[in-house]
């Protein structure tokens, strides 16, 4: 496992583009697997593990190098809302196992990262818990991910600097590589209103290995990349094509064919991004187009 973690850091230093996978939660919904609040994609681990593994497998077939385990909602705080709080470590371990299973015969060349999202609603920075809770709960989730054997931790969809710092600190305490990603809907500002540059520098100083933006429209990515570049770390983006909505299901905001999405990804690489992938609404077909378009590409100098 240590060798995989070292290999992941080495891969981050390689200037060749690293293709991440796409959505899991909205893919489950697209395939008829309910993913409603408060547990969203977590129940699928118990009720439809075969579908979860199949989604991972299809991303592997599409040509990605990184699979994100379905741990987006396996933190104790979220699971407790559905009476599953005591199963946080078990479900986190199961999610990583399903990602490894999905990698199949290609597991030696695949990296599996664990998702570490905000403890509360990704789009509500006003709900970010107080510092002690952030430290305690992100530490527990990071330990669960490390015990489950992930190659790195993806601190993602962060809407405030202080939670991003807490989650990054917890991940680094496990001596795992850390990718730290922020959600920005309007220019280069987090949903908290804090500048993206401030956020990127803060997680860099906590030991993050790369910085990204995610769950934002493709049209907003270019506004963010120069500020990520200022961190001096490898940087990237995985954009969405809309937002999950518990009342109406997935609400598509940008209608991107796989080829159009691949064109966006190529333009991010032209701007210096080294890591690209997809968030809500993207499918294996979108990532297949990205992988095909970017195969062998080297990121431009920042």
The pLDDT score that the predictor gives to residue 298 is 66
Per-residue confidence band for 34, with pLDDT thresholds at 50, 70 and 90: confident
Q: Is 172 helix (H, G, I), strand (E, B) or coil?
A: helix
Question: Is residue 227 included in any domain, yes or no?
Answer: yes
Question: Is residue 278 included in any domain, yes or no?
Answer: yes
Question: Is residue 127 included in any domain, yes or no?
Answer: yes
pLDDT at position 1 over 60: no
Question: Is residue 45 included in any domain, yes or no?
Answer: yes
Question: Is residue 111 included in any domain, yes or no?
Answer: yes
Q: What are phi and psi of 96, to 5 degrees?
A: -70, -40
Separation CA 198–CA 218 (nearest Å): 22
Side-chain-facing half-sphere of 194: CA atoms under 13 Å = 19
Q: What average pLDDT does the segment 127-151 reach?
A: 98
- Tokens representing 83? 């009476």
Query: Treating both helix axes as pointing N-terminal to C-terminal, what angle do 258-270 and 284-294 enclose, rounded to 10 degrees?
Result: 40
Place of tokens 């399903």: 98
Per-residue confidence band for 258, with pLDDT thresholds at 50, 70 and 90: very high
Place of tokens 């986190």: 92
CATH number, domain containing residue 279: 3.20.20.330
pLDDT one-digit tens code per residue, 11-30: 998 889 999 999 999 999 99
Contact of 183 with 206, CB cutoff 8 Å? no
Contact of 78 with 130, CB cutoff 8 Å? no
Separation CA 81–CA 206 (nearest Å): 31
β-pair partners for 250: 244
Question: Strand 249-252 vs strand 242-245: parallel, antiparallel, or unpaired?
Answer: antiparallel
Separation CA 72–CA 104 (nearest Å): 22
Question: Is residue 300 included in any domain, yes or no?
Answer: no
β-pair partners for 189: 195
Of the candidates 12, 5, 3, 2, the one whose C-alpha atom is nearest the C-alpha of residue 209 is 12
Question: Strand 111-116 vs strand 152-158: parallel, antiparallel, or unpaired?
Answer: parallel
Per-residue confidence band for 139, with pLDDT thresholds at 50, 70 and 90: very high
The gap from C-alpha 169 to its chain's centroid, in whole angstroms, comes to 17
Separation CA 242–CA 253 (nearest Å): 4
Question: Is residue 53 included in any domain, yes or no?
Answer: yes
Q: Would you put residue 43 in left (φ > 0), alpha (ψ -120 to 50) or beta?
A: alpha
Tell me the pLDDT of the chain averaged across its residues.
Answer: 93
Q: Is 104 helix (H, G, I), strand (E, B) or coil?
A: helix
Contact of 154 with 114, CB cutoff 8 Å? yes
Q: Which of 37-46, 61-70, 169-178, 220-229 has the lowest average pLDDT? A: 37-46
Question: Is residue 299 included in any domain, yes or no?
Answer: no
pLDDT one-digit tens code per residue, 78-110: 999 999 999 999 999 999 999 999 998 665 679
The pLDDT score that the predictor gives to residue 108 is 65
The gap from C-alpha 96 to its chain's centroid, in whole angstroms, comes to 14
Residue span of the structural domain in which 234 resides: 2-294
Q: What average pLDDT does the segment 54-73 reach?
A: 97
pLDDT at position 4 over 90: no
Whether the model clears a pTM of 0.75, i.e. scores above it, the answer is yes
pLDDT one-digit tens code per residue, 165-208: 999 999 999 999 999 999 999 999 999 999 999 999 999 999 99
pLDDT at position 250 over 70: no
Q: What are phi and psi of 155, to 5 degrees?
A: -80, 110
* Percent of the chain whose pLDDT exceeds 90: 85
Residue of higher predicted confidence among 245 and 35: 35
Q: How many structural domains are present in the chain?
A: 1
């Amino acid at each position: 496992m240590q060798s995989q973690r070292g290999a992941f850091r080495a891969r981050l230093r390689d200037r060749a583009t690293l293709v991440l996978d796409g959505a899991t939660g909205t893919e489950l919904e697209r395939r008829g697997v309910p993913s409603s609040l408060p547990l969203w994609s977590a129940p699928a681990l118990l009720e439809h593990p075969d579908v979860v593994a199949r989604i991972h497998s299809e991303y592997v077939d599409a040509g990605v190098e990184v699979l994100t385990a379905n741990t987006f909602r396996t933190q104790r705080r979220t699971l407790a809302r559905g009476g599953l709080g005591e199963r946080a470590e078990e479900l986190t371990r199961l999610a990583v196992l399903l990602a490894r299973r999905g990698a199949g015969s290609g597991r030696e060349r695949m990296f599996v990262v664990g998702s570490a999202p905000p403890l509360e609603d990704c789009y509500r920075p006003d709900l970010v818990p107080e510092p002690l809770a952030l430290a305690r709960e992100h530490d527990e989730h990071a330990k669960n991910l490390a015990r489950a054997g992930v190659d790195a931790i993806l601190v993602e969809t962060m809407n405030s600097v202080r939670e991003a710092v807490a989650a990054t600190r917890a991940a680094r305490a496990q001596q795992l590589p850390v990718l730290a990603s922020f959600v920005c809907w309007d220019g280069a500002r987090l949903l908290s209103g804090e500048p993206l540059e401030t956020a990127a520098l803060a997680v860099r100083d906590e030991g993050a290995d790369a910085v990204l933006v995610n769950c934002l429209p493709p049209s907003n990515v270019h506004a963010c990349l120069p500020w990520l570049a200022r961190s001096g770390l490898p940087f990237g983006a995985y954009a969405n094509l809309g937002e999950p909505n518990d009342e109406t299901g997935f609400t598509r905001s940008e209608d991107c064919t796989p080829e159009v999405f691949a064109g966006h990804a190529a333009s991010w690489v032209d701007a210096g991004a080294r890591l690209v992938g997809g968030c809500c609404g993207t499918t294996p077909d979108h990532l297949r187009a990205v992988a095909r378009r970017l195969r062998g590409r080297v990121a431009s100098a920042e």
